Amino acid sequence: MGLRIAIFVSSLAGGGVARLSLTLAAGFADRGHVVSVVTFDATAADFYEVPARVKRVQASTGSRPLVRWFDLFGNIRRLARIRAAITSTKPDCVISIADGTNELMLLATLGCRFERLVSVQIDQPAYDHHNTSWNDRRRRRFRRWAYRMADAVVFLSPEQSARAAADNPTWRCADVPNPVTPTIDTRLDKKAGSVIAQLKSREHWLVGTGRLVEQKGFDLLLPAFASLTARFPAWGLLILGEGPDRQALERQAALLQIADRVLMPGVAKLHAILQHCSVFVLSSRFEGQPLALMEAMLCGLPVVSFDCPSGPAAIIRPGVDGLLVRPITVEALSTELLKMMSCPDMRLRMGRAALDVRSRFDVELICAEWEKLIARCPLPQGCSNGGN
C-alpha cells in the first residue's frame, strides 16, 4: 500500500533544489505513492512544470517566516499557514529539502502525528567554516536545536552523516544520495533560445551553473579561463545562474579583459543549453551533492571539478568521465582545463562515459532507499494519514 508523502521546499522558481524536489516527487508517484509538493513561495513564481500525477500546494504566507525575528505574531501566522498547507495533504510523512526550509517545517509541524524527515543538501562543516557572521552562528544554534525534533536528518553520503552524528549526538542521522533527473528536457523557451543563439558566436563553450555566490567559486573560474583564452580563441565561458555576486563577477571579467568571452544570461533551461556546450566546470569551494554536475553528465558532457568537500569525488570517475582538480587554486583548475580543452578525443570518450550517471543515480533506486528509511521510522501510535 502506498504512502501519502508531502515534499516541502521553499520554491519551484529555479535551481537544483527545485529540480530535485520534482524528481523525487515524480519518482515516488511512479512507485505508487500519493505525492504532494508544498511551497511557501507563490505558484506564479514556478520555473519548473509540476508532473500531473503530483499535487501542488502553496502555503499562502505572504512572505517567508523568520526573516523578521521581531515580527513575532506575523511569523506565527506564517508558520500556521505552512502547517495548514502540509496537513491538508494528510501525509504519512513529510520530507523537507535544504537548510532553512527544514527548520521551518519542523517548527510549523510541532506535535503533528506524521514522520518528519529533513534532507541536508550541503556539506555542513564546510558551509559553517565559510559562514561565520553573528547571524550565521545564530542560525547554526537554531538548526542544532531544531534538527533534534526530526525523525531523520538525511545527508548525501555516509561520511557526511557520520561527521554530523559525531558533532550532534542527539540527531537521528541517515544518508541517501540524490537522484539524477531521469530524462533530458530539451524543449526550448524564449530565454533558452536566446542563449543558444548567442552560443553560435563561438565553436566551444565551457559552462558552469549555480547561484552567483562565493560558494560556487566563479571568481576562481574566471581567472582560470582568462589564463587560457590566448591559446584557445574559439572557446567562451558560459555561467548560468543569478545571485548577489553578479556585479562583482562582471567587474572581475572586465578587469581580466575577458568580458567579450564570458556570457552570464541568468537562469535558463539547463538541458537545452548544455547540448550546445563542450565541457562542464564545477568550481565550487564546497558542495553537498552537486545536481548540476550530474545533469551535465546526463547530457553527455565531460566534466572538470574541484575535489571539494563534498560530492564531486562520489560522482566523477577520474580519467573515465571527468577530471578532479586539487582544491582549491586557480592554477590547478587552469591546468586541468588545459588538458580537457586540448584533447577532443578525451572530451568525446569522457562524455560518452558520463552517460552512466543515469544508472548510477537512478531515481527508482534512490526512492527505494527513501522508502527503507521511512520504514525504519514507524508511524506514531494512532497515526493514520497524518492529522495534527
Average pLDDT of span 145-151: 95
Average pLDDT of span 229-241: 97
The CATH number given to 4-179+362-375 is 3.40.50.2000
Give the domain ranges of the chain: 4-179+362-375, 190-360
What confidence category does residue 13 fall into, taking pLDDT thresholds of 50, 70 and 90?
Answer: confident
Rounded to an integer, what distance in angstroms lies between the CA atom of residue 158 and that of residue 164? Answer: 10
What confidence category does residue 388 fall into, taking pLDDT thresholds of 50, 70 and 90?
Answer: very low
190-360 topology per CATH: Rossmann fold (3.40.50)
Tell me if the pTM is above 0.85: no
pLDDT score recorded for residue 312: 92
pLDDT score recorded for residue 64: 55
* DSSP codes joined into one string, 6-74: EEE-S--SSSHHHHHHHHHHHHHHHTT-EEEEEESS-GGG--SPPPTTSEEEE---SS-TTSSTT-HHH
Amino acid at 210: G
On the question of pLDDT at 333 being above 60, the answer is yes
Place of cell 553573528: 134
Of 198, 332, 174, give the one whose Cα is nearest residue 263. Answer: 198
Weakest-pLDDT range from 80-89, 267-276, 353-362 = 267-276
On the question of pLDDT at 8 being above 50, the answer is yes
Q: List, for residues 279-323, the tens digit of each pLDDT value.
A: 999 999 988 788 889 999 999 999 999 998 778 998 999 999 999
pLDDT score recorded for residue 134: 56
SS3 268: coil
pLDDT score recorded for residue 133: 62
